[in-house]
Structure 1
Amino acid sequence: MQCDYYDAGTCRSCTLMGVPHTEQVAGKVAHAQSLLAAYPDVEWVDPFIGEESGFRNKAKMVVGGTTRHPTLGILDADRRGVDLRECGLCSPGMKEALRVLSNLVRAARLTPYDVPARRGELKHILVTEAPSGDLMIRFVLRSTDLVPALREHLAGLQERLPALVVASANIQPEHKAILEGPEEILLTEADSLRMHVNGMNLHLRSRSFFQTNTEVAAALYRQGRDWVEALAPSSVWDLYCGVGGFALHLAAPGRTVTGIELSAEAIESARTTAAELGLEGMQWEAADATVWARTRPVGEVPDLVVVNPPRRGIGADLSAWLEDSGVEHVLYSSCNAVTLAKDLARMPSLKPVKARVMDMFPQSNHYEVITLLTRV
């Protein structure tokens, strides 16, 4: 992949830009295998490789510049806006959305937030695109001052972007490197975006997490489903279930699947999808995964546990619980193989038997690796 921004030195976020895609993936596989070298009997499935460009389903754009000349992209070393609306990682539909949104900033006089001066209102614009082309757009504001202007221009925005389904304003009043604030103001009647994955619609609400690469996410869920089906467990706990990606794929007649996720919004999304599909045996609860697992009655353990934690991994407490629980199998999907290796070292009774690198983040050193652990 070639990138004019990278070549000009404007943006160097893609650390592997210019490296042939096959070489990128080979390096990621080598990195994962080196971190799991203590387990020589692991069966490594060939990596899943998707598109190297146009793959991102979400653009998190910092708004800079001025009302007349806004930038949507990143900040430079001086905390000034750098425009990246033509980023090659974004799809054509997302690029068009960013063009329209740039015009909206001008028309609605949405004052960009000036980080060095600590003044202005519009901090970020977040755009999420479903496989159907439908869009969710979120405006991160310093206060509610611009909400009336957004409401006033919403109809015009929908006219220029017919794919717009969900729009909201997130209020982040603090001058901190924190993307979102605690308050979300819905601007549209619809409150969720349907992400069509492997024949099901995963409902994505404004603050719900979803993998950045829809194609690779679909392959990740299929791989997990295939490995679990071969084991035919009667009970499954998905302890970081999000909007239900793994849990919903593992539903089967006669099987109970329990999804646990801290976000009540994500749990509501998972319930909605399960109801639409008419799935039985599904249970959902908004709770901290570690606390929930460690407070189950003695002897209440499933046949298999799924964990798909953030980059920090599952940590010492949940690793210790899994080690002592007697659970026979764990499906561990990790976006950070370094913390995966640390967690595995804390669970000597659970050995990885299968692993696969999923190229979730082309042009960067990051990747997803899914592993199947079995008690020995």
Structure 2
Amino acid sequence: MQCSYFDAARCGSCTLMGRPYAEQLAGKQEHVRTLLAAHRELGWLEPLASAEAGYRNKAKMVVGGSLTAPTLGILDAEGRGTDLRACAIIAPGIRAAFEALTGFITTAGLTPYDVPTRRGELKNLVVTESPDGELMVRFVLRSSEALPRVRKHLPGLRAALPRLAVVSVNLLPEHKAVVEGEEEVVLTEQQTLTMRLGEVDLHLRPQGFFQTNTAVAAALYAQASRWVEELAPSSVWDLYCGVGGFALHCAAPGREVVGIETSEAAVAAAERSRLDAGLESVRFLAGDATAFALSAPQAPEVVIVNPPRRGIGATLAGWLEDSGVRHVLYSSCNATSLARDLAAMPSLVPVQGQVLDMFPQTPHAEVLVRLERR
């Protein structure tokens, strides 16, 4: 795959851009296998390939330029906007919405935030597309000053984008390099975006996390579900559960499933999905995964962990090692922290794994590993 932005040195985010995709995938597989080479019983499934382009279901665009000619993309070295609206790894449905969104920026008077001078209102635009083609749009503003104008012109935007389901304003008053602030104002009656994966509907709130590659996320959850079905446990924990992807895919009659997540918004979304599906044996709790495990009176038969890049850490790894849990499924976006955590759990032996290419054109990948106690 070639990218004019990459070739012109306007964007270097996709560091593997231009390399043959088969070579990218083989390199990721070899990297992970090398890091986990000490685990000699670990057998590997075929790596899961992704579409090379159009795979990102979420676009986080920095807004630059001027009110009459806004840019959507990134900032250059001087803090000025570089327009990347034609970025080919972004889902086509999102790219098709950018024209209407830039027009709305002008119409609603959302002056792009100028980083060097610290003036302006609109900092970022975050757009997510569901598997059904619906859109969620979030305007990250410096203050609530422009909120009335967003409300006033929102009907026009919805007319221009019939697929627009959820719209919100996020407030980020601080001058710092983050995508969003803590306060979110949802402006539409519909407050969640339905992410339909097979027979499971996951509800995504504006500040919720969801894997950026829908097709590969579906394959990830399906593989974990197959492994859980083979084990047929009566109890499962999904730690770092997010909006409940693993927990809901692994639910079954008579199986007690508990999902733990620090984000209360994510837990609320997961709970709505549970209620919609009528799953009485599944429950979701807001809290720290490690603290929950350490305070639990009894360990489950299977634990699923899906931590951020830093991994599960020494304390939770130590608890898993000593807990008596028979099986662990570890989903990792960072094979380096995965290797470190596995080394801290020598009684839990990795027996099967798969590399899933969640992020083509970059060195990153998802790794799912199945562990058994020996």
TM surpasses 0.5: yes
| Structure 1 stretches of 4+ moved >3 Å | none
Distance 2:315 2:41 in 1: 27
Partner of 1:30: 30
Distance 1:179 1:93 in 2: 22
Partner of 1:46: 46
- The TM-score with structure 1 as length reference comes to 0.98
1:278 aligns with 2:275: no
Distance 1:77 1:295 in 2: 48
TM-superposed deviation, 1:63: 0.4
- Give unmatched runs, 5+ long, in structure 2: none
TM-superposed deviation, 1:91: 2.1
TM-superposed deviation, 1:280: 2.8
Q: Give the partner amino acid of 1:268.
A: A
1:89-168 alignment runs, 5 A limit: 89-168=89-168
Cα deviation 1:24-64 (Å, max 9, x = unaligned): 00000000000001012211000111211001100000001
Partner of 1:11: 11
Partner of 1:296: 296
1:63-78 alignment runs, 5 A limit: 63-78=63-78
Distance 1:359 1:342 in 2: 21
Cα deviation 1:268-312 (Å, max 9, x = unaligned): 111111111122311211111111111112xx0000000001111
SS in structure 1 of the partner of residue 46 of structure 2:
strand
Q: Give the partner amino acid of 2:83.
A: D
Q: Give the partner amino acid of 2:169.
A: A
Partner of 1:203: 203
Distance 2:225 2:280 in 1: 17
Cα deviation 1:52-99 (Å, max 9, x = unaligned): 100110000000111111110001111110000000011221111112
Partner of 2:371: 373
Task: Figure out how many residues of one structure are paired with residues of the other and give that number.
Answer: 374
Partner of 1:349: 347
Distance 2:64 2:127 in 1: 16
Distance 2:142 2:293 in 1: 38
Distance 2:98 2:352 in 1: 41
1:324 aligns with 2:301: no
Distance 2:259 2:169 in 1: 29
Percent of aligned pairs sharing the same letter: 59
Cα deviation 1:90-114 (Å, max 9, x = unaligned): 1221111112111111122211111
Distance 2:116 2:321 in 1: 49
- The TM-score with structure 2 as length reference comes to 0.99
Contact 2:122 / 2:140 at 8 angstroms: preserved in 1?
A: yes
SS in structure 1 of the partner of residue 201 of structure 2:
strand
RMSD: 0.8
Distance 2:132 2:336 in 1: 35
TM-superposed deviation, 1:173: 0.6
Partner of 2:287: 287
